[in-house]
Homo-oligomer: A and B are copies of this chain.
Amino acid sequence: MSRTSEEETNLALVLAMFESVLNPMDSAAVDRFISPAYIQHNQLAEPGREGLKKFLDVIREQTPGAVHDVKRAFVDGDHVIVHYHVRRWPGDAGWAVIDIFRIEDGLIAEHWDVMQDVVPGGPNPLAPF
């Protein structure tokens, strides 16, 4: 590995956000990690940091036992990429998700993601992680 200390810091910020915001779906912890100028590209969330809080409140209400199981994470300069498995309840096949975050001034400033249903029983026994 050849990560710079800035890259290690950026990666640690995002993993801490998973621990403190995404896993507990805690909208109250958002401001410690997310920029006030947050640019959201998720198709289902409303824009900005307040939209993210609303989104977290909705998913915590709907699926209080959801887990966000990180499989691998990468950093390239100011971008951090995380591949994880969302399971909404025990036994849920869930979603495969890859997030891309852009860090600016020590906070997450922009976010893209792609989500896909995990469908057991397809042609590929190694899918999807």
Q: Which has the most chain B C-beta neighbours within 10 Å: A51, A97, A98? A: A98
Nearest residue (CB) in B for A43 is: B127
- Is residue A25 contacting chain B, with contact meaning CB distance below 8 A? no
Q: Which of A88-129 contact B (CB under 8 A)?
A: 96-98, 100, 112-116, 118-119, 122-129
In this complex, how many residues of chain A approach chain B with their Cβ under 8 Å: the count is 43
| A interface residues (Cβ-Cβ under 8 A, vs B) | 1-4, 6-7, 39-47, 51, 72, 74-77, 79, 81, 83, 96-98, 100, 112-116, 118-119, 122-129
- Which 5 pairs from chain A and chain B are nearest by CB? A74-B76, A43-B127, A98-B98, A114-B114, A98-B114
